[in-house]
A and B are shown apart, each in its own frame.
Chain A
Amino acid sequence: MKELEMKEQVCRALNAQLSSLRTSPAQRDRLARNAMEGRKVKKTKVSLALVLALVLCLLTAGALAAVLLSGREIVEQVAVPIAQSSKQENYTYEELKTLIQTLNENGITLDEGSTLMQAFQAGHGYWERDTIDEICRAAFDGDLRNWTIEQMHWYGEMMTAIGAWEENIWLLPEEGDMTVEEARAYAAKALKDAYGADLPAESSDQWRISENFDLTWMYDDEAGHEEALWSFWYINLRTGNNDYNVTFDRSGGHITTWRADYLEKISTKNWGTVMDDLQSREGTCTQWGVETWAEFGELVKGMEADSRNGWLYLHAGYRLPPEGSISPERALEIAGNEMRYGEITGRLYENVICCTDGDRPIYKVCHRVIFRQEDLEKGGAYDDVWCLEIDCMSGEVLSKRQYAYGPDGDPMMMYVPFSLLEQAPPFEEKPADTEKEQAAQKRYEKEEAAIAQYGADMYFWPLQVQAEVYGEPCGVPTEAEYARALKIALDAIAKQYGKDAMTELGDYRVGLMHRRFDDEKENGCWQLEWDFMFTTDPEFLSDGYRVQFRQLIYEEDSLETIRDMMVEHANFGNG
């Protein structure tokens, strides 16, 4: 994916995810007024909107009922009373121990890798709310968005009981409200009326219905108001996409319906728009099945190519397997046997495409093997990608090639017949792009060389190498400058994390990124920027500290000012 595509996709995703996170006109007025009056307005409670949902999972029928009850009982009878008995927001180690013992006795084990268990094993307590979430995850095996209305309401009651929520906004239908069944039927009818969609009133093999009945903040007037709202989402189980959504209030009014754009029409402006729309509907093309590629092939028939990739896509002859051919599943199986991945314990991703090589219908199978961490540590590769071509009719493996990462690799080999790759005519590239690409290529090559020699993290490259790769103002400090900066950084860590912090860290390495520039004209000084990383694990930064600061030097060896000091854990934010 190119940078621009990635940028657009990230923007769209974040804007969609945060679409309702906005200020109202009244709020904006208040913001400006408070700022002018120098007023800080601090909320003391965490907002309801934030502490709403969890990440729990689909409950598949009665099989989990016993576990669910057990999980509920433990939360109700043990976790909540302990939380209520204390003014703290966290369980002590002893309280956590009691809880974990109770869970184990009831056949529930928490994920050993979870932060909660790590805290427990290190002899610490843990946050009450997060602990209850963790129990629910273990007991219900997954994603809360698929809970029933009743289960959500129960969870809200628990959160309210421990004081994590101010009120339970996950409601149960009251007398006079529609029942859940009536609301589901009403939702399906609303979508039928709006789009002619034949959607079931219950989850089925094709659709998973996610539902919610909650108090929602509505911004239909300036101040806004709360309203009980039914919401239903229809997840297409084939694609995993949310295709439809409907909401309405408790009396069935204020209906809003929504349907994904790609269900209306695929844009056939050019092959790129076809691909974009299909990717919106079906996920990235690496996840497409044979049917989607065949649909793509049909839609782009007769289109003009504007680039090498376009030409290759337009000439690959994507199609459905012809009558009498082996199945795509069988093709995957044949490819698996051919590659003997059974000997590799890493993870495997694979996809299969049906296309045409000359006149011959072939399957292209692409395998990506992710190697184990242990292998990585022994200096092995991170992953391998192999592509195989298989005759659709006979199942014979016609050819196989490994994808090469880097400038020599041709990712199109995964999507079109190998024979086509050499046939593509040259397409003129725009000069500006070429120049930019050449510069990027040069930098890429320098970076690759540095990575090969010094590892992936720039912090641990020699400063001279950083300067060569990235140019000014990256630079190399004098020994005295470095010694002074190192002392400042270590003092800052000692101040924030205790004087023994570095001793406890053990045999650490020091990484550094350094920038220096003459600020004589503007501020009458030299500015040195330091970004230190102290860790025993330079690859993953799983421990240690990071210290950043700017040093303004006004006179050599005499006057300096330290600005923007920031000290944090090296892995801060890694979750």
Chain B
Amino acid sequence: MEQAEVPGAAREMRLEEWVQQYADAILRVCFLYLGDRSLAEDALQDTFLKAWKAMDRFEKKGVCSEKAWLMRIAVNTCRDYRRGRWFRHMDISTALEELPPRLLAREAEDRALAMDVARLPDKHRQVILLHYFQNLTLQETAQALGIPKSTVYKRLVRAEEMLKSMLTGGDAP
């Protein structure tokens, strides 16, 4: 049976919960997509704006977890942003380097690995971010990216190979 629309006050409460719970995670994923904190903050705002507008549809369908759904909105928002002019000359690994030194990871190994993740080709970085970093299941990752689960799996395997190669001193093939 179709659920009724979420009442106004409950909608507001739900959005506030989502913001409290997922804002930082979405901000980080957006940053790692866009390589720009300012753009990532804009994308974060847009994500919640879209989520607010589409909340009823999500509640009715309920086909995936709210986190996967929000991540999908965030990923799509980032894709739109990336078509913009500024992104075209933005290198995410450089952007990570450009975080203020005070904010840099303190362990060199962590830092190197984060840079390696940032240097992964886009499609491989996406699955690592969502499946590893945001802990989405393979199914949720597939839903968030709008691609088949088998593609997620394939990309994950490839991404792991590349990261291992980088970690053991080789270049990403």
A interface residues, Cβ below 8 angstroms from B = 1, 3, 6-7, 9-23, 27-28, 31-32, 34-36, 38-43, 45-47, 49-55, 127, 130, 145, 210, 212, 214, 216, 229, 231, 233, 235, 239-242, 245, 247, 258, 260, 279-280, 283-284, 286-287, 349, 368, 370, 382-383, 447, 458, 466, 470-471, 473-474, 513, 515, 529, 531, 548, 550, 564, 566, 571-575
A240 — which chain B residues lie within 8 A by C-beta?
Answer: 108
Query: Is B67's CB within 8 Å of the partner chain A?
Result: no
Contact B32 A14 (CB under 8 A): yes
Nearest A residue (CB) for B109: A283
Bound CA–CA A31/B28 (angstroms): 15
Nearest A residue (CB) for B53: A38
In the complex, which of the residues A216, A458, A471 contacts B102, with contact meaning CB atoms closer than 8 Å? A216
Contact B27 A36 (CB under 8 A): no
Contact A575 B91 (CB under 8 A): yes
Task: Give per-residue flags for B152-173: 1 if the beta carbon is below 8 A from chain A beta carbons, else 0.
Answer: 0110010010011001111001
Bound CA–CA A548/B142 (angstroms): 14
Query: Is B5's CB within 8 Å of the partner chain A?
Result: no
Bound CA–CA A396/B135 (angstroms): 51
In the complex, which of the residues B37, B112, B117 contacts A14, with contact meaning CB atoms closer than 8 Å? B117
User: When A35-B51, A349-B169, A573-B123 are in contact, do A19 and B105 touch as well, CB less than 8 Å?
Assistant: yes
Contact A21 B31 (CB under 8 A): yes
Contact B98 A51 (CB under 8 A): yes
Contact A34 B45 (CB under 8 A): yes
For chains A and B in complex, what number of residue pairs have CB atoms within 8 angstroms?
235
B99 — which chain A residues lie within 8 A by C-beta?
Answer: 17-18, 20-21, 49-50, 52-53
Contact A573 B122 (CB under 8 A): yes
In the complex, which of the residues A41, A260, A286 contacts B169, with contact meaning CB atoms closer than 8 Å? A286
Nearest B residue (CB) for A474: B150
Query: Is B64's CB within 8 Å of the partner chain A?
Result: no
> What is the CB-to-nearest-CB distance from A412 to chain B, in angstroms, rounded to a whole number?
16
Bound CA–CA A241/B133 (angstroms): 23
Query: Is B48's CB within 8 Å of the partner chain A?
Result: yes
In the complex, which of the residues A14, A45, A50 contacts B28, with contact meaning CB atoms closer than 8 Å? A14
B interface residues, Cβ below 8 angstroms from A = 12, 15-16, 19-20, 23-24, 27-28, 31-32, 36-42, 44-46, 48-49, 51-53, 79, 86, 89, 91-114, 117, 119, 121-123, 125, 128-129, 131-133, 135, 146-148, 150-151, 153-154, 157, 160, 163-164, 167-170, 173
Query: Does more than half of chain B's interface fall in helix, strand or loop, or is it mixed?
Result: helix
User: When A19-B105, A529-B148 are in contact, do A53 and B27 touch as well, CB less than 8 Å?
Assistant: no
Contact A572 B106 (CB under 8 A): no
B167 — which chain A residues lie within 8 A by C-beta?
Answer: 1, 284
Bound CA–CA A486/B163 (angstroms): 33
Bound CA–CA A229/B100 (angstroms): 12
Bound CA–CA A571/B124 (angstroms): 11
Bound CA–CA A138/B118 (angstroms): 23
12 inter-chain pairs at a CB distance below 8 angstroms, sorted by A residue, are: A10-B128, A13-B105, A13-B114, A15-B133, A21-B37, A28-B20, A38-B49, A38-B53, A145-B101, A279-B109, A280-B107, A513-B150
In the complex, which of the residues B24, B100, B117 contacts A23, with contact meaning CB atoms closer than 8 Å? B24
Query: Does more than half of chain A's interface fall in helix, strand or loop, or is it mixed?
Result: mixed
> What is the CB-to-nearest-CB distance from A431 to chain B, in angstroms, rounded to a whole number?
22
Contact B93 A474 (CB under 8 A): no
> What is the CB-to-nearest-CB distance from A527 to chain B, in angstroms, rounded to a whole number?
11
Q: Across chains A and B, which 5 residue pairs bring their CB atoms closest together, nearest first?
A: A573-B122, A16-B105, A17-B114, A47-B38, A470-B150
B48 — which chain A residues lie within 8 A by C-beta?
Answer: 31-32, 34-35
Contact A575 B109 (CB under 8 A): no
> What is the CB-to-nearest-CB distance from A137 to chain B, in angstroms, rounded to a whole number?
11
In the complex, which of the residues B12, B31, B93, B100 contacts A216, with contact meaning CB atoms closer than 8 Å? B100
Nearest A residue (CB) for B51: A35
Nearest A residue (CB) for B168: A286
Contact A28 B160 (CB under 8 A): no
In the complex, which of the residues B28, B109, B113, B160 contacts A241, with contact meaning CB atoms closer than 8 Å? B109
Contact B133 A52 (CB under 8 A): no
User: When A17-B99, A34-B45, A470-B153 are in contact, do A23 and B51 touch as well, CB less than 8 Å?
Assistant: no
B92 — which chain A residues lie within 8 A by C-beta?
Answer: 575
Question: Which of B86, B103, B135 is the most central at the interface, judged by chain A CB atoms within 10 Å of its CB?
Answer: B103
Bound CA–CA A235/B146 (angstroms): 43
User: When A11-B133, A130-B89 are in contact, do A50 and B110 touch as well, CB less than 8 Å?
Assistant: no
B129 — which chain A residues lie within 8 A by C-beta?
Answer: 14
Contact B168 A284 (CB under 8 A): yes
Besides A145-B101, A284-B168, 5 more A-B contacts (Cβ < 8 Å) are: A46-B38, A53-B100, A53-B101, A260-B106, A470-B153
Contact A43 B38 (CB under 8 A): yes
In the complex, which of the residues B19, B41, B122 contacts A43, with contact meaning CB atoms closer than 8 Å? B41
